[in-house]
Chain A
Amino acid sequence: MTASLKAQPASSPQPGKRPRDGRVIAGSYNHAPPGLVLGGPVGNGTDSPPFFQELVSRVLHLHFRDCKTKVSGDALQLMAEFLKIFVVAAVRGVQQAQAEDLDIVDVDQLEKVLPQLLLDF
């Protein structure tokens, strides 16, 4: 995998900047999701905000080869949880790989945990 880990985002989202089609995909997510307690079991509340599911749905459909492929509602919710765990696992792994008492976590930590993360997923 030729992952360029120092990738700069092409268009980093700024507050107030919305996708051009007017649809607010990630705009109003100001509050913490209920029960996302990290360091223990993740996400006691299964109610992912609907915008997140919409985002998941769009990202999945972007990569489907057959346009007739659909995703059931339950599967979409489950996928949202799945992706949330993926991100949280990456974040937790990075934070745990931080050996010294640094305040800032760098990409080097991510490089250490990435292989195992990808094998697990």
Chain B
Amino acid sequence: MEETEAEAERQFSHRQRLKAAVHYTVGHLCNEVALDKQVQFNKQTVAAIAEVTFRQCENFAKDLEMFARHAKRSTVTTEDVKLLARRSNSLLKYITEKNEEIAQLNLERKTKKKRKPEDESSNSREPAAEVVDTET
């Protein structure tokens, strides 16, 4: 019984830490708007936005998992994320564009990585310079 209690406590404190991290990030974004528009956000508002964000993340995570499982996958992909953005047309459009950008960026990075070992290999290195793609 004590073990489950300790485990529950650990999970709770993990959750609290994540919440704090989210709060910090939200606070940062708020500060940027505050600087830009000459307004101030009081702490309660920042905390409220952080709370809403954290709670929505729970819904997002569950949805993403369901979408992936529905497609008989165990890995959440960009298609699942796009489905998450379906409720507002402008949002969907924005996310789709971002997806293209990200794909493009990653593709450029991949080709850069593959080119580099060929340029640099003046020593007797293994010619099959395997660039392990850790992203996919």
Contact = CB atoms under 8 A, between A and B. Distances in A.
Interface residues on B, range: 35 or more
Contacts of B64: 60, 71, 75, 79
Nearest to B105: A46
A38 B39 CA distance: 13
A26 to B, nearest CB: 4
Contacts of A88: 29, 33
B56 interface: yes
Contacts of B65: 64-66, 69
Contacts of B77: 72, 74-75
A39 B39 CA distance: 13
B20 A11 contact: yes
Contacts of B36: 38-39
Interface residues of A, number: 71
Nearest to A46: B101
Given A8-B47, A78-B98, A107-B44, A62 B18 contact: yes
A120 B88 contact: yes
Interface string B25-36: 110111011001
Contacts, number: 216
A80 B20 CA distance: 17
B119 to A, nearest CB: 24
A87 B50 CA distance: 8
B20 A52 contact: no
A70 B74 contact: yes
| Most chain A CB atoms below 10 A, which of B13, B52, B54 | B52
Interface of B: 13-26, 28-30, 32-33, 36-45, 47-58, 60-62, 64-65, 68-69, 74-78, 80-82, 84-85, 87-88, 91, 94-95, 98-99, 101-103, 105-106, 134-136
